[in-house]
Amino acid sequence: MGKVKEAEIDSVLKNLYTVLMRLGFFDGSPKFENLGKPDVCSNEHIELATEAARQGIVLLKNEAETLPLSSEKIKTIAVIGPHANATSAMIGNYAGVPCKYTSPIDGLSKFGEVIYEMGCDGVLCKNESLIFPAMRAASKADATILVFGLDLSVEAESLDRVDLLIPGYQSQLISQVAEVSKGPVVVVVMSAGGVDISFAKNDPNIHSIIWAGYPGEEGGRAIADVVFGRYNPGILCSSSILLLLQMRFDVICILDIIPLFLFDIGGKLPLTWHENDYVNMLPMTSMRLRPVDSLGYPGRTYKFFNGSTVYPFGYGLSYTNFTYKPVSTKNKLNIRLNKFQHCKDLEYSDGSYKPACPAVLIDDLKCESHKVELAIEVANTGKRDGSDVVMVYWSATSGIAEAPIKQLVAFKRVLVKAGRSEKLKFELNGCKSFGIVNNSGYKLLPSGGGKIEIGDGLLTVPVQINFHRGAL
């Protein structure tokens, strides 16, 4: 006899299929039956794919404001690396049939004469034989762009990496090409996960680094637009694609701008890029997030790892400069508890103040009425129009042993013209934004003081959470 009764399985299946029927999973797709390639591959959809790639690109290094490059000064471009002519590698896992591909070579050829050298025979880069021709090309070109990284032969479903390094001779290719390049050197990384590129980060011959992820079918065009700082945003604001972009990226679009303008990069890293030694600090089969000091286990994610990194979560440079200042705040939560709402205990570190009511179970609260409001002004103090992803973090009261270092609770992307400012408003649900999960798996709202941080601590706003019995 099995551990689960057949009647229990039947009950679960009934619930599952009831939901599927309500969602229309068995109604067919009559609205989409007559759609074909012309509908899917419209100019608007191609532009959407390009814009998604542009907004996802992250600027990691930009010494002496090397980027964006000037098409008036740069006439010849050495495009080198295993991903220089990438097509299918750009779409990663679980992709549909692309309308077409625009490789990095295709995109960059719109801005100058391209000199293409592979440098490596694929991302595994098992020999050095193609490095010298790449060095020769870089020594002649006005600028060198190295496009390298990973692909599905290295990282994929059921295929995990054993380290955080780029494979084979790729790092040697990059360093040797950068050493002999006549002009500025730009490195473009394609990968899903983080890679330890400390060698490139610290190399004075490498002036700029951008991470493109797997940028999709129009990735080459997006990379070129970012490298040269140019694209036509008027298309985005003049059609239904604006609505699509607002839905996907929370974009505030500025209308009535000139057809061609200098585009700023504003992407942020969605994951921590660890140093390669990190893989030796913990068993890769362990999914535990919190650190274990007795085992020398450092913890996972930006929430719990506080060691050195190649690039931290949320990192991303810009072609311009932004400042933040608060406009208004509603930063106190005074919550009245009834007789059915009970205080829950939390573990505090030695010497820390422990309030009489440390926390309350979130499921016991009416969360929709407990909100913190914050309005800030984002000023563009640079000389270039640009977009900024404003990231809002929450840190709970210091001393709570089970709380993360910080956690991302909101973000918005805003476009700001040079010398101008825009106001952003954030409304944070207290339960969703300030709650923590303890070691037993319960979601709790802790009492006491905490803080909201904008960006990397550029602006800090204190928040107070108080629980009361009886009238407030």
**What pLDDT does 350 receive?**
86
In a domain, 1, yes or no: no
In a domain, 315, yes or no: no
Asked whether residue 257 falls in the same domain as residue 398, the answer is no
**Model confidence over 155-200: pLDDT tens digits?**
998 898 989 999 999 999 999 999 999 999 999 999 999 999 999 9
Report the CATH number at residue 440. 2.60.40.10
Asked whether residue 258 falls in the same domain as residue 327, the answer is no
Report the CATH number at residue 106. 3.40.50.1700
**Model confidence over 452-464: pLDDT tens digits?**
999 888 899 999 9
In a domain, 10, yes or no: no
**What pLDDT does 264 receive?**
62
Asked whether residue 251 falls in the same domain as residue 326, the answer is no
Among positive and negative, which fits the CA dihedral 80, 82, 87, 90? Answer: negative
Asked whether residue 243 falls in the same domain as residue 331, the answer is no
Cα 383-62-207 angle, rounded to 5 deg: 135
Asked whether residue 67 falls in the same domain as residue 196, the answer is yes
Among positive and negative, which fits the CA dihedral 81, 85, 88, 93? Answer: positive
Asked whether residue 366 falls in the same domain as residue 460, the answer is yes
In a domain, 58, yes or no: yes
- Read off the pLDDT band of 266 (50, 70, 90): confident
This prediction has a pTM of 0.86
pLDDT > 70 fraction of the chain, expressed in percent and rounded: 92
Q: What is the mean pLDDT of residues 206-216?
A: 97
**Model confidence over 52-109: pLDDT tens digits?**
999 899 999 999 999 999 999 999 999 999 999 999 999 998 888 999 999 999 999 9
- Top pLDDT among 468 and 258 is at 468
Asked whether residue 249 falls in the same domain as residue 365, the answer is no
- Read off the pLDDT band of 398 (50, 70, 90): confident
Asked whether residue 92 falls in the same domain as residue 166, the answer is yes
**Model confidence over 114-158: pLDDT tens digits?**
999 999 999 999 999 999 999 999 999 999 999 999 999 999 988
In a domain, 169, yes or no: yes
Asked whether residue 129 falls in the same domain as residue 217, the answer is yes
- Top pLDDT among 228 and 351 is at 228
Asked whether residue 251 falls in the same domain as residue 357, the answer is no
- Read off the pLDDT band of 261 (50, 70, 90): very low
**What pLDDT does 313 receive?**
95
Asked whether residue 166 falls in the same domain as residue 237, the answer is yes
**Model confidence over 414-430: pLDDT tens digits?**
999 999 999 999 999 99
- Last residue of a domain, which of 224, 247, 262? 262
In a domain, 220, yes or no: yes
- Last residue of a domain, which of 226, 245, 262? 262
In a domain, 183, yes or no: yes
- Read off the pLDDT band of 16 (50, 70, 90): very high
Q: What is the mean pLDDT of residues 366-379?
A: 91
Instruction: Give 144-192 as a DSSP string.
Output: EEEEEE--TTTSBTTB--SSSSPPTTHHHHHHHHHHH-SS-EEEEEE-S
Number of compact structural domains in the chain: 2
**Model confidence over 334-371: pLDDT tens digits?**
888 888 888 999 988 888 888 889 999 998 888 888 89
Cβ–Cβ < 8 Å for 143, 184: yes
465-472, long-range: CB < 8 A, 24+ apart: 465/332, 465/333, 465/335, 465/430, 465/434, 466/332, 466/333, 466/334, 466/335, 467/335, 467/337, 467/343, 467/357, 467/360, 468/334, 468/335, 468/336, 468/337, 469/336, 469/337, 470/336, 471/336, 472/334, 472/336
**What pLDDT does 341 receive?**
85
Pick the closest to residue 362 from 388, 336, 344, 376 (CA basis).
344
- Read off the pLDDT band of 223 (50, 70, 90): very high
- Read off the pLDDT band of 245 (50, 70, 90): very low
Asked whether residue 222 falls in the same domain as residue 368, the answer is no
**What pLDDT does 255 receive?**
31
Q: What is the mean pLDDT of residues 46-56?
A: 93
Q: Is the pLDDT of residue 25 over 90?
A: no
CA 82 to CA 102: how far, in whole Å?
Answer: 15
Q: Return mean pLDDT, the chain.
A: 88
- Last residue of a domain, which of 213, 233, 262? 262
In a domain, 438, yes or no: yes
- Read off the pLDDT band of 237 (50, 70, 90): very low
Name the residue range of residue 187's domain: 37-262
**What pLDDT does 240 receive?**
37
